[in-house]
């Protein structure tokens, strides 16, 4: 099975059914098939060949789906990227995957225009959106001019379909290579786990499609089963509830940050909408606090189904039971097709209720693109070493307890503190910096930085943030800044635990945000 044949099968069964609903715009499965054929034909006419990389730098919109399938239909490799990335971050990513084509939001092209000449491997740029530029080809021009004939390209299960970039240190995210076979098998397992059918309507809200949850667990799993994806932009909880009522949504998946916003809204204003169509409310992307799960059920009447996966696992590995009560704090059992075990530092499997590293086996990524060393650390004898710490009970229920690697998770986004540290190391008035995660009731964690300034200089917290904003995506910008005379050390290295405690104390004392050194 490959992604092209997966879509062909669904189109054969549900051609006239709505594949994607976005406001007043509906795209049927037949229309998705035709649009993706036009994209594939155009890419082939431009000389794009099997194995070439094509970047998708788009917001959540129906065109994302037709572009993605157009790329994989012609044997090229889709590389979805975050539109929030700044040029410095994009430079690292593009320099590694060296795409031949860039599909980009028309609103994003202007900030990149001056940098495009240095990315000479990009031969074609196609803009998507309302505004057009005479300098670049537009998506609409392709749809209006390119033929819609079926593509005859031999695609094997082992062929690369997608490079999914995940967080990595020093502004160098790692590209998980996902094959056609990986994805086709993973979405089948995902669909079985959700008992998903063509009758389901799945909400895509606040989960970008460059992320594995939006792309694989929602979009591709829905296409596999002939479900409808209801897309909604923004972060308005009222708009979300209105859309659930209007579209008769049956499956809603979000990160804990969104669930907390929903609970807050309902406590303050009540529900006000008919949500009775929902049969699954799922949570992924960050630890789900028990009190949040309890509040969600108390105020909305729905259990939050917790489940677990990571970019490198292609889709989710576990899921709590859809009916009955899952064990509080658990992310559920391994889905059929997945294996899980807990190991110690010597690679020995641990018994029930003993904590260690979580390793999984199933339709995992093939390797990290152009990164053999990281691949060898991550995949051993067919097992994916997740760097998550957890334990399994006697019933096989998985409980996550933390991370082996130094990472901050804010609103479901993974951030390496070293990204912030490497950027601030270039600040002309900074001599040292330590970035850490600080617990936050809404976001899970936020980034805090302890900064040591050069003697005699004056800098504000706002200036530190503004400097970071030049180089980092918005979600990586420090929320809390404290200036210190020296960083706490342990064995000659920055002591992150001590830095965290220092930031928490400074925050409690009102000494962060805008203070001058």
Q: Which residues contact 177 (CB under 8 A, 6 or more apart)?
A: 160, 162, 163, 365, 366, 367, 368, 369
User: With contact defined as beta carbons under 8 Å apart, do 500 and 448 qualify?
Assistant: yes
CA-atom Rg of the chain in angstroms = 23
Residue 392's pLDDT is: 98
Is the confidence at residue 501, as pLDDT, over 60?
yes
| Bridge partners for 20 per DSSP | 27, 229
Q: What percent of the chain has pLDDT over 70?
A: 96
Q: Stretch 339-351: mean pLDDT, rounded?
A: 97
3-194, what's its fold? Rossmann fold (3.40.50)
The whole-model pTM stands at: 0.91
Q: Give the pLDDT mean for 417-425.
A: 90
How do residues 262-281 score in pLDDT, each as one tens digit?
Answer: 999 999 999 999 999 999 99
Query: pLDDT tens-digit profile of 213-228?
Result: 999 999 999 999 999 9
408-508 CATH: 3.30.300.30
SS3 per residue for 354-381? CCEEEEEECCCCCCECCCHHHHHHHEEC
Distance of alpha carbon 58 from alpha carbon 210, whole angstroms: 8
Summarised one tens digit per residue, pLDDT across range 85-128 is: 988 889 889 999 999 999 999 999 888 888 888 899 999 999 99
Specify which residues 442 forms β-bridges with: none
Give the pLDDT confidence score for residue 510 in this predicted structure. 65
Q: What is the average per-residue pLDDT within 314-322?
A: 97
Q: Which two tokens stand for residue 137?
A: 């080809």
303-403: CATH architecture? Roll (2.30)
- Domain coordinates in residue numbering, the chain: 3-194, 303-403, 408-508
Confidence bin at 507 (pLDDT 50/70/90): low
Q: Is 387 exposed, middle or buried (0-12, 13-18, 19+ CB in 10 A)?
A: middle
Give CA torsion, residues 133, 90, 403, 181, to 10 deg: 70
Taking residues 497-516, report their average pLDDT.
66
Residue 200 pLDDT:
98
Tell me how far apart the alpha carbons of residues 77 and 93 are, in angstroms, rounded to a whole number.
Answer: 15
Exposure on the CB side of residue 383, measured as CA atoms within 13 A: 16
Q: Look up residue 11 and give its two tokens.
A: 């189109």
Q: Are strands 489-490 and 493-494 parallel, antiparallel or unpaired?
A: antiparallel
Whether the per-residue pLDDT at 515 is higher than 50: the answer is no
> Percentages helix, strand, coil for the chain, rounded to the nearest 5?
35, 25, 40
516 pLDDT more than 50: no
Rounded distance between C-alpha atoms, residue 243 and residue 206, angstroms: 13
């Amino acid at each position: 099975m490959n992604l092209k044949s997966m879509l062909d099968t669904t189109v054969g069964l549900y051609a006239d059914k709505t594949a994607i609903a976005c406001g007043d715009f509906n795209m049927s499965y037949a229309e998705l098939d035709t649009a993706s054929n036009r994209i594939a034909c155009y890419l082939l006419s431009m000389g794009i060949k099997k194995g070439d990389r094509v970047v998708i730098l788009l917001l959540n919109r129906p065109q994302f789906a037709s572009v993605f399938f157009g790329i994989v239909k012609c044997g090229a490799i889709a590389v979805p990227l975050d539109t929030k990335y700044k040029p410095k971050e994009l430079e690292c990513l593009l320099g590694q995957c060296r795409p031949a084509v860039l599909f980009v939001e028309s609103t994003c092209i202007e900030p990149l225009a001056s940098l495009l000449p240095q990315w000479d491997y990009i031969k074609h740029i196609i803009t998507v959106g309302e505004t057009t530029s005479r300098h670049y080809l537009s998506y609409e021009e392709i749809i209006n001019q390119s033929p819609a004939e079926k593509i005859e390209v031999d695609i094997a299960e082992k062929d690369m379909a997608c490079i999914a970039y995940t967080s990595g240190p020093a502004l160098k995210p790692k590209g998980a290579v996902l094959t056609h076979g990986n994805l086709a098998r993973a979405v089948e397992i995902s669909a079985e786990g959700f008992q998903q059918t063509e009758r389901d309507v799945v909400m895509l809200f606040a989960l970008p499609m460059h992320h594995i949850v939006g792309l694989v667990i929602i979009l591709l799993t829905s296409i596999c089963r002939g479900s409808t994806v209801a897309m909604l932009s923004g972060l308005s909880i009222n708009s979300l509830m209105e859309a659930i009522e209007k579209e008769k949504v049956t499956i809603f998946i979000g990160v804990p940050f969104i669930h907390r916003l929903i609970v807050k809204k309902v406590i303050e204003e009540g529900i006000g909408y008919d949500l009775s169509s929902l049969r699954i409310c799922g949570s992924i992307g960050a630890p789900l606090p028990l009190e949040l799960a309890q509040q969600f059920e108390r105020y909305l009447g729905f259990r939050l189904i917790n489940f677990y996966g990571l970019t490198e696992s292609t889709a989710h590995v576990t899921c709590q039971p859809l009916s009955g009560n899952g064990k509080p704090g658990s992310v559920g059992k391994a889905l059929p097709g997945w294996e899980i075990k807990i190991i110690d530092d010597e690679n020995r499997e641990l018994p029930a209720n003993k904590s260690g590293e979580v390793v999984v086996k199933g339709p995992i990524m093939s390797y990290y693109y152009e990164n053999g060393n990281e691949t060898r650390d991550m995949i051993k004898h067919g097992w994916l070493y997740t760097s998550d710490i957890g334990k399994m009970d006697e019933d096989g229920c998985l409980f996550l307890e933390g991370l082996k690697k130094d990472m901050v998770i804010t609103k479901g986004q993974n951030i390496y503190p070293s990204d912030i540290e490497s950027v601030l190391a270039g600040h002309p008035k900074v001599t040292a910096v330590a970035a850490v995660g600080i617990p936050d009731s809404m976001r899970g964690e936020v980034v805090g930085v302890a900064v040591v300034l050069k003697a005699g200089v004056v800098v504000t917290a706002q200036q530190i943030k503004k400097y970071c904003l030049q180089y980092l995506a918005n979600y990586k910008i420090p929320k809390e800044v404290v200036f210190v005379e020296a960083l706490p050390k342990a064995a000659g290295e920055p002591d992150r635990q001590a830095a965290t405690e220092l930031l928490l104390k400074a925050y409690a004392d009102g000494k962060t945000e805008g203070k001058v050194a």
